[in-house]
């Protein structure tokens, strides 16, 4: 896999998508300085915002879509800080389309699209993608066509003018994205109408053509090089310019945290961590059941090349409770999941375990998603891609996955935009809750999630909070069921927050991550204050905060696998943390002078809680 090709494409794609979005916004009279009012030449049916050029006139649905763009920007605070809000909005539009294009390419290469018809290319080498020439044959797969859409298909395929073919392709591409939202809602949310104004997909030029020309199909093929590697590298390189810009700042802002702290973890490191945590946990279960094979024998049978047997055989666990543990009961979390590399390999290891227990691939795939794997990230882009990567791994094992009622426990950590007053009516009108406790619990959660996309997985949740009581608010109807007392946006936000709260409140058998690295001096104010108050013994860096967090969220008989900076072993400001870690056993550690990822000096930790070891 040629990383230079991937890097060049990803960087250029981001620039191209951003430029296209900015041009489209400018044509709507929207810039990072002002939002134009409609010009005096406008009529009821035709609106002008830039000049009287007929090509810039908005008609029909486009008029409402522009209003949606303006409302979205204003809701995000455009009036107070137009440059920042405009830039963030452009960035979101660009990565939304980038993620969708990459996902569709992956699905068509592996024949995962429900229609089995290519969207970006032609299997027969035609100039147009197959979705154009087979448009009428796949109507049901695209949710049906309106009369005007059928007319467009007929006219475009008859006349085949560049303008009509572009219009047809844009319509089919967006319908394919919307149809995929039913089976992959984490990535293909129903396309906001305003997005249709801000990016027009083209098959013979631009990002899609560059992807086909520059990135070999084999990079996406699960039978060759593909899957998590290509998704992870594309994600990291897409963010590389954001990272370079942020690194120059004295202090990071909220939007800087994701790009400056995320590094794609090379495959061998992921395997090393997962095999020596999840793999070791399963070997402990087998030994507790009476399996007399050695660690090496079991690891070799599973093909775990990076598994390292414990040097101290006293660390081999024999436990009656473990002996009775079913594979469905093992909870594995990556609290800084990035593009999902660790979770995808954990899926592979779980699949091996399930099959060794007699499960079919089909039953194992849906069970792993529902029962075993959990993940969080502060970056919605990362969430989308990790969600997609994990589902594609499951689809590889179960070709009917998308027809099943599956669930997945991956979430991006949201920022709460609403306060307790937005919920007052529903709390007051509910008779099946403790109003005072519900109000107190909800306020506590909303207050901390005000900085949710800053704090992410290090948020501590009061164990006394009644999550089930708060979930009752999502129903949002009054006792007679007649009045909707919460708006859809408030309801969706509360639901997403409570999903994250449940993941944070869980205790895990295995916790594995490559955490973010950020010294206290670079943290923004909300993050720094929270870390100082809640993690005084590990506040010097985010990676050490995650070390402490994982110790608290992992069960006493569980394992932790981490990549860390080596500074915690030597520097005085980590002394209290080192004393805390003396309560736990380090099973193995690789303290490497050089790494494949940059030139960091990173040890690897595999801690079994409860044991004692002097550092």
| Closest to 439 (Cα-Cα) out of 466, 478, 476 | 466
- pLDDT value for 519: 78
pLDDT value at 435 more than 90? no
Classified as helix, coil or strand, 538 is coil
The string of DSSP codes covering 555-567 is EEEEEEEEE--GG
Residue 527 half-sphere exposure toward CB, CA atoms < 13 A: 27
Classified as helix, coil or strand, 250 is coil
Residue 600 burial by CB count (10 A; 0-12/13-18/19+): exposed, middle or buried?
middle
Calculate what percentage of the chain has a pLDDT beyond 70: 88
pLDDT value at 474 more than 90? no
| Closest to 343 (Cα-Cα) out of 403, 291, 408, 294 | 408
Extract the tokens encoding 162: 């560049």
Q: Name the pairing type of β-strands 554-563 and 508-513.
A: parallel
Average pLDDT over the chain, rounded to whole?
Answer: 84
For residue 96, give the DSSP letter. Answer: H
Calculate what percentage of the chain has a pLDDT beyond 90: 47
- Of the pLDDT bands very low, low, confident and very high (cuts 50, 70, 90), residue 615 is very low
Residue 137 burial by CB count (10 A; 0-12/13-18/19+): exposed, middle or buried?
exposed
pLDDT value at 173 more than 90? yes
- Which regions of 141-252 does DSSP assign to beta strands (E)? none
- Of the pLDDT bands very low, low, confident and very high (cuts 50, 70, 90), residue 598 is very low
- 155-161 own/partner pairs: CB under 8 Å, 24+ apart: 156/132, 157/132, 157/133
Q: How many CB atoms lie within 10 A of CB 593?
A: 8
> Are the CB atoms for 199 and 21 separated by under 8 Å?
yes
| Closest to 541 (Cα-Cα) out of 512, 519, 572 | 519
> Are the CB atoms for 476 and 485 separated by under 8 Å?
yes
Residue with tokens 């395929």: 157
pLDDT value at 493 more than 60? yes
Q: What is the mean pLDDT of residues 307-327?
A: 78
Classified as helix, coil or strand, 432 is coil
The CATH class for the domain spanning 267-409+510-608 reads alpha beta
Strand partners, 377: 412
For residue 602, give the DSSP letter. Answer: -
Enumerate the domain spans of the chain.
3-114+183-248, 267-409+510-608, 420-450+460-502
pLDDT value at 119 more than 90? yes
CA distances from 564 to 315, 589, 601 (A): 23, 11, 8
Q: Name the pairing type of β-strands 554-563 and 585-586.
A: unpaired
Strand partners, 563: 604
- pLDDT value for 436: 87
Q: What is the pLDDT of residues 342-375, one digit of tens each?
A: 999 999 999 999 999 999 999 999 999 999 999 9
- Of the pLDDT bands very low, low, confident and very high (cuts 50, 70, 90), residue 482 is very low
- pLDDT value for 585: 79
Cα 611 to Cα 559: distance, rounded to the nearest angstrom: 11
- pLDDT value for 599: 22
| Closest to 63 (Cα-Cα) out of 194, 256, 222, 250 | 194
Q: Which of 193-197, 310-314, 421-425 has the highest mean pLDDT?
A: 421-425
- Of the pLDDT bands very low, low, confident and very high (cuts 50, 70, 90), residue 404 is confident
Q: What is the pLDDT of residues 64-107, one digit of tens each?
A: 889 999 998 998 899 999 999 999 999 989 988 998 999 999 99
- Of the pLDDT bands very low, low, confident and very high (cuts 50, 70, 90), residue 399 is confident
- Of the pLDDT bands very low, low, confident and very high (cuts 50, 70, 90), residue 612 is very low
């Amino acid at each position: 896999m040629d990383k230079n090709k991937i890097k060049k494409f990803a960087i250029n794609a981001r620039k191209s998508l951003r430029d296209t979005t900015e041009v489209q916004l400018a044509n709507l009279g929207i810039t990072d300085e002002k939002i134009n009012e409609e010009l005096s030449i406008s009529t009821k049916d035709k609106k002008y915002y830039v000049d009287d050029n007929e090509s810039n006139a908005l008609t029909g649905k486009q008029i409402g879509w522009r209003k949606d763009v303006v409302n979205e920007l204003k809701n995000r605070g455009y009036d107070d800080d137009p440059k920042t809000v405009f830039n963030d909005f452009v960035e979101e539009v660009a990565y939304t389309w980038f993620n969708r294009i990459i996902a569709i390419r992956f699905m068509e290469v592996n024949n995962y699209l429900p229609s089995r018809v290519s969207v970006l290319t032609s299997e027969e080498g035609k100039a147009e993608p197959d979705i154009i020439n087979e448009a009428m044959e796949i109507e049901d797969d695209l949710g049906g066509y309106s009369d005007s859409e059928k007319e467009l298909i007929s006219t475009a395929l008859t006349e085949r003018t560049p303008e009509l073919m572009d219009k047809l392709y844009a319509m089919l591409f967006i319908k394919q994205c919307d149809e995929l939202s039913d089976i992959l809602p984490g990535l293909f949310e129903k396309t906001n109408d305003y997005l249709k104004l801000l990016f027009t997909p083209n098959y013979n030029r631009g990002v899609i053509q560059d992807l086909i020309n520059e990135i070999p199909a084999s990079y996406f093929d699960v039978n060759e090089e593909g899957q998590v590697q290509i998704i992870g590298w594309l994600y990291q390189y897409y963010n590389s310019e954001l990272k370079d810009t942020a690194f120059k700042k004295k202090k990071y802002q909220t939007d800087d945290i994701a790009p400056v702290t995320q590094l794609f973890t090379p495959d061998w490191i992921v395997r090393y961590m997962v095999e020596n945590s999840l793999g070791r946990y399963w070997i402990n279960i087998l030994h507790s059941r009476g399996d007399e094979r050695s660690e090496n024998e079991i690891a070799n049978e599973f093909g775990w090349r990076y598994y390292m047997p414990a040097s101290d055989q006293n660390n081999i666990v024999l436990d009656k409770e473990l002996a009775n543990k079913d594979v469905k009961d093992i909870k594995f979390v990556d609290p800084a999941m990035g593009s999902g590399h660790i979770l995808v390999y954990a899926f592979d290891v779980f699949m091996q375990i399930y099959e060794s227990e007699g499960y079919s691939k089909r039953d194992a795939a849906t069970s792993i998603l529902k029962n075993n794997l959990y993940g969080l990230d502060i970056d919605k882009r990362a969430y989308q891609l990790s969600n997609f990567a994990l589902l594609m791994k499951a689809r590889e094992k179960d070709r009917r996955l998308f027809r099943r009622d599956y669930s997945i426990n991956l979430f991006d950590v949201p920022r709460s935009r609403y306060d307790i007053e937005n919920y007052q009516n529903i709390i007051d009108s509910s008779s099946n809750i403790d109003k005072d406790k519900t109000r107190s619990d909800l306020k506590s959660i909303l207050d901390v999630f005000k900085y949710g996309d800053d704090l992410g997985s290090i948020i501590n949740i009061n164990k006394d909070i009644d999550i089930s009581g708060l979930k009752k608010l999502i129903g949002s109807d009054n006792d007679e069921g007649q009045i909707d007392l919460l708006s859809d946006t408030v309801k969706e936000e509360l639901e997403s927050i409570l999903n994250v709260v449940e993941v944070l409140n869980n205790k895990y058998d295995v916790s594995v991550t490559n955490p973010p690295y950020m010294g206290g001096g670079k943290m923004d104010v909300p993050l720094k204050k929270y870390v100082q108050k809640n993690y005084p013994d590990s506040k010097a860096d985010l990676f050490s905060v995650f070390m402490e967090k994982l110790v608290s969220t992992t069960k006493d008989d569980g394992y932790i696998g981490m990549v860390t900076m080596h500074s915690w072993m030597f520097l005085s400001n980590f002394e209290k943390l080192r004393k805390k870690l003396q309560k736990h056993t380090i099973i193995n550690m690789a303290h490497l002078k050089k790494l494949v990822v940059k030139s960091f000096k990173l040890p690897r930790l595999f801690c079994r809680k409860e044991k004692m070891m002097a550092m």
